[in-house]
Each structure stands twice: as C-alpha cells, then as structure tokens.
Amino acid sequence: MNLSQTRKGELAIIANELLWGLFPIITILSYSTVSAVYSLAFSAMFSCVFFAALMLIRGKFFELRKEGIYKHILIISFLIGWLYYGLYYAGLKFTSAGNASILALMELFFSYLFFNVWKKQPFSKEHTTGAVLILIGAVIILWPKEGLDFSGGDWFILIACACATLGNYYQQSLRKIISSETILFLRNLFSFPFFFLLAYLLQATAPFHEVKGVLWLLILNGFVVLGFTKFLWVEGIHRISVTKATSFSGVAPLSTLFFAYIFLHQSPTLWQWVSLIPVSAGLILLTYEKKPAK
C-alpha cells in the first residue's frame, strides 16, 4: 500500500504521541530516586548516544560538515533544549502537574498564531474542528478536581510553549537540508551538558548507586521517549504542518491513561472514558482528506 506523504506524517505524529504517553510513567518511576533535572540530563545524554548510533548505521555523519546548519542548530538547542525544558521544569517547581499538563496544550494556540495567522499557512475547517475536539478531550482528562488555579509557575509553562513553537519552525526548515537524526543528535549534544550544569547550580544530587538503580529507566527514556519519539516528531512536521501535528497532542494523555493502568494499576475515571468521544471524533476530522474533484 502506497501512503501519501501527508498520511505518513500523520501516522508518525500519532505514533509519537502514543509513545510520548510513556513519559509521565517513566518519570514517576525514576523520580522516586533521581531528581527531575538529573533524570532529564541523563535521558538527553542517552538520547544523544541513540542518535549517534542511528547516524552511524544510516551513514549520516557527513551531514555534520554541511555549511550553514549550526546557526539553526544553536537556535533550536536554545529554544527547545534549553528554554523549553528549562522553563517547563522550573514551572513545575511552582505549579501543579495538572496545571502544567493543561497549559502545555497552549502550544496548539501558539502554533496556530505563528504558522496560520502570521505565516498564512492554510488550515481547513475540518482540521480546525478536529483540533478543538481533541483539545476538549485532553482538558477533560487532565482537568484537576480542585480546578485550575493560575500561579507564577504557569507563566513559565506558557513561555516554554511559545519557545517550542518557534523551535519547531527552525526544525521544520532545517529538515529540508539534513536528516532528523542529525538534527536531534546535535540538539541533544548541545543540550545535555546544559542540564548537568543546571543540576549542579540547583544543587541537585544523584549518587551513583541511585542512578544505577534506575539506569534502565533513564536509558529507556533517552532511547524511546527523548529519542525515537522525537525522531517521529521531526519526520512528521517535515510532511505535515506544525499546527496539525500539535493538534494530535491530546492523544498523549489517553496513552498515559493506558500505560498508567498497565504499569501503575490506576483505573481511568468515568470522565476520562467520556473523553474518548471528542478525541476519537477529532482524530477522524484531523486525518480527513478531501478527494480531488474529477
């Protein structure tokens, strides 16, 4: 079966979101012994190793010699590797995980403003409706019982989402020149030392015996969550618009519910089951393609 480039992009993003649902589960399991910033630092380092191996297998190391790519790489590393993750983790210090998860969905709003309002990229009514339905479904899943109490840390999350949108623009542009694995190898190469420095400045601790105890989780996080899923993301936005790709973000909370039931034995609530309705309808509309007129 020959799939269109659009369909390949959609499948890559959906697979990315399904696997990204593992991130909170791995985080919960690893944070029991290693601090958040060290977990991120080690995961980014292992992700760098993953992409180096992928580049070696696919013969992509020659791309490191291409002229004009490092300006974009530094911008991407700064916007996503440093600001996005740094602000997001800083925000978590001053707000709840529920608030952070809901506010992270604002990336769709920033993507729409940047790509579709400012850059004038088309976005059909069907796709707009689908994006709104998935957003509603995600909010139903994530909305905290006590309500959304806006705090100072929430501003960090919002700024982080804006940084991610701009970073995706540069990633999408650079993908036309070099491969996804090269982009992500360099992004992690410039990012993980920053995370270790940040951990040191925050006086976080990571004794060897504690790191060793969750080493397999950190490798899994680096290879799968910060590795393979990010590869799928860059490949996806190479084929479809960033706004459309970001619209699928509501799938990740559903995936997290599934993995939480499997690994943490947490059963979904009634409202979380109800969220399947708008999310499913939104997926149908987002992947809808008008047939060309004969």
Question: CA-CA distance, 58 to 241, in Å (whole number)?
Answer: 26
CA distance 247 to 13: 10
pLDDT averaged per 10 residues in sequence order, the chain, 294 residues: 83 90 69 75 94 96 94 96 84 70 83 90 87 85 66 83 95 96 97 90 77 85 90 95 90 81 80 85 79 56
Half-sphere exposure of residue 227: CA atoms within 13 angstroms, side-chain side:
21
Check residue 186 and give its pLDDT: 97
pLDDT given at position 290? 63
pLDDT at 251: 84
Distance CA 228, CA 261 (A): 23
pTM listed for this prediction = 0.85
User: What pLDDT score does 283 carry?
Assistant: 83
